[in-house]
């Protein structure tokens, strides 16, 4: 995600990794490199100045922990100060009112319409609402209403629109009235994209706000625009008092300036981040997680969240028992593949693991992943349960049924047997504890 910035920061850290202690001289050298890296990533200069001062004040004269090297301690200081700059903790979404109203605003092309549906689906999945309504207040952009209707249907939301109406204030009033009358428990309003320097359109947005009286006014910022997104968010905040920010297109941003700068400049928290094009590609913004990603430490916070969402605890324990006894089957294998697929692309999941972001996973061929699934799905129930031996004739049938080659089938069978043998030979917990000289849980 932040390729160039991550590489430059790691270059700065490498200069201090071999030092025996943190001194004003070696800290100053590393801090200068961090400063240049942040400025090149389009982080606002005043923000960089503030951050660098905090890092330097923390690092110089810091008491060293015996088990941690000076280099590691410097990295931790940078990480903690980055996280603090972006808010420190996840920001809560305020859902107040009957029904609660969330209004999205921002420049044209920032992704407001898509994120209305993303947000409704996310909050519905989290149990924050059961029957959300989207209101189409974007009367400027051609096909904006049709797009919202299509996305609303995909997200399982009601959509209120008045295609022949020219005044978004009246649409907002009518939509809110219908939401109350029909028992909707959340309203999300899509507004037209507008320039902050267009006084007439900004005044119109103020009137929409007065009509809806939202508990949340979220500014949708395109992360790829860097400092421009920060400046625009600041102007929107002055006019309509935004309550938070949704940062979009983070999957395409390699700079990171907006993510680092926007909270410090506006004083308003980053609440959500869009990480892809699908309706499920929205997650709470976690400053610690973002600092991890910027420093190339993976994203274990969101990886664990995804795993908790898609993996059943009971099934996981059952699989663990099967692995220990080497009794898992192709049925178990396919279940795990399908669960992992629900979490997102394999490339994105690997990128969340610490250290994997620096490995050449860009050329990862996920088709191999789907080949395995196709072959197993072509098996009979007895073959998947390993009741029947996969003879050459059966393997030929599997290759034909899955649209793969016999070599692919042989490769799967070989790797599956190797995995079973590995778990069979792996010492159980008691043996492992004995080998290590005591309990693992002391």
The CA distances from residue 426 to 321, 421, 430, 432, in Å, are 13, 8, 11, 9
**pLDDT tens-digit map of 330-374:** 887 777 777 766 666 655 555 555 544 544 444 445 677 788 889
pTM for the model: 0.67
Chain centre to alpha carbon of residue 29 = 33
Instruction: From 273, 294, 292, 305, select the one nearest 354 (Cα to Cα).
Output: 292
Looking up tokens 């649409």 gives 171
Gyration radius of the chain over CA positions: 26
Decide: residue 159, CB within 10 A, 0-12 exposed, 13-18 middle, 19+ buried.
buried
DSSP-derived secondary structure for 202-216:
HHHHHHHHHHH--SE
- The answer to whether 89 touches 287, Cβ cutoff 8 Å, is yes
What letter does residue 380 receive in the DSSP assignment? -
Supply the pLDDT for residue 174.
93
Which residues in the chain come in under a pLDDT of 70? 1-3, 18, 61-68, 196, 226, 251-256, 297-326, 340-366, 422-442
| Residue 113 neighbours by CB distance under 10 Å | 26
The CA distances from residue 189 to 173, 213, 234, in Å, are 11, 11, 21
Query: DSSP E strands: which ranges in 276-408?
Result: 282-284
| Residue 218 neighbours by CB distance under 10 Å | 25
Supply the pLDDT for residue 385.
87
Dist CA 391 CA 410 (whole Å): 10
The pair of three-digit structure tokens given for residue 315, joined into one six-digit string: 């099934």
- The answer to whether 178 touches 154, Cβ cutoff 8 Å, is no
**pLDDT tens-digit map of 92-125:** 889 988 899 999 998 887 888 999 999 999 999 8
**pLDDT tens-digit map of 199-242:** 888 888 889 999 999 999 999 888 777 677 777 888 888 888 89
Supply the pLDDT for residue 196.
66
Instruction: From 75, 82, 76, 78, select the one nearest 16 (Cα to Cα).
Output: 75
DSSP-derived secondary structure for 258-283:
HHHHHHHHH---EEEEE-SSSTT-EE
User: Is 53 in a helix, a strand, or coil?
Assistant: helix
Instruction: From 142, 150, 167, select the one nearest 114 (Cα to Cα).
Output: 150
Dist CA 165 CA 170 (whole Å): 8
Contacts of residue 177, defined as CB under 8 A and 6 or more positions apart, other chains included, come to none
Domains of the chain: 3-85 (1.20.120.140), 101-297 (3.40.50.300), 308-429 (1.10.260.30)
Dist CA 409 CA 430 (whole Å): 36
The HSE-up count of residue 259 (CA atoms within 13 Å, CB side) is 33
Supply the pLDDT for residue 438.
47
Supply the pLDDT for residue 216.
92
Supply the pLDDT for residue 371.
85
Supply the pLDDT for residue 427.
47
**Sign for the pseudo-dihedral over CA of 78, 84, 89, 91:** negative
Phi, psi of 254 (to 5 degrees): -110, 5
């Amino acid at each position: 995600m932040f390729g160039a910035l991550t590489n430059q920061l790691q270059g700065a850290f490498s200069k201090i990794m071999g030092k025996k202690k943190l001194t004003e001289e070696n800290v100053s050298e590393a801090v200068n490199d961090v400063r240049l890296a942040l400025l090149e990533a389009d982080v606002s200069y005043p923000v960089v100045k503030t951050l660098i001062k905090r890092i330097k004040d923390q690092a110089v004269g810091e008491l060293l922990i015996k088990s941690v090297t000076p280099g590691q301690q410097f990295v931790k200081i940078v990480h903690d100060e980055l996280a603090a700059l972006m808010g420190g903790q996840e920001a809560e979404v305020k859902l107040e009112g009957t029904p609660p109203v969330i209004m999205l605003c921002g420049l044209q092309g920032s992704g407001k319409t898509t994120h209305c549906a993303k947000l409704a689906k996310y909050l519905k999945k989290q149990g924050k609402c059961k029957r959300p309504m989207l209101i189409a207040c974007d009367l400027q952009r051609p096909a904006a209403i049709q797009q919202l209707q299509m996305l609303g249907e995909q997200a399982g939301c009601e959509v209120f629109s008045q295609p022949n109406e020219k005044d978004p204030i009246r649409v907002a009033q009518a939509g809110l009235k219908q939401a109350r009358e029909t028992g909707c428990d959340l309203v999300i309003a899509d507004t037209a994209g507008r320039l902050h320097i267009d006084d007439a359109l900004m005044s119109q947005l103020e009137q929409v706000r007065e009509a809806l009286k939202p508990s949340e006014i979220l500014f949708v910022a395109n992360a790829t625009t860097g400092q421009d997104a920060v400046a625009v968010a600041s102007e929107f905040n002055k006019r309509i008092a935004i309550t938070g920010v949704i940062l979009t297109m983070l999957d395409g941003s390699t700079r990171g300036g907006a993510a680092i700068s926007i909270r410090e400049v506006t004083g308003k928290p980053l609440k959500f981040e869009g990480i892809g094009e699908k309706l499920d590609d929205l997650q709470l913004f976690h400053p610690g997680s973002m600092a991890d990603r910027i420093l190339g430490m993976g994203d274990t916070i969101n990886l664990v969240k995804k795993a908790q969402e898609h993996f059943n605890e009971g099934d996981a324990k059952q699989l663990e028992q099967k692995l220990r006894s080497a009794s898992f089957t192709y049925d178990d294998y396919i279940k795990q593949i399908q669960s992992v697929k629900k979490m997102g692309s394999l490339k994105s999941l690997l990128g969340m693991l610490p250290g994997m972001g620096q490995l050449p996973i860009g050329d990862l061929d996920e088709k191999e992943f789907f080949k395995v699934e196709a072959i197993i799905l072509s098996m009979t129930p007895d073959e998947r349960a390993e009741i029947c031996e996969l003879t050459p004739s059966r393997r030929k049938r599997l290759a034909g049924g899955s649209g793969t080659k016999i070599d692919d089938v042989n490769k799967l069978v070989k790797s599956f047997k190797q995995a079973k043998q590995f778990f069979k030979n792996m010492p159980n917990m008691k043996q492992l504890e004995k080998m290590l000289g005591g309990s693992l849980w002391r």
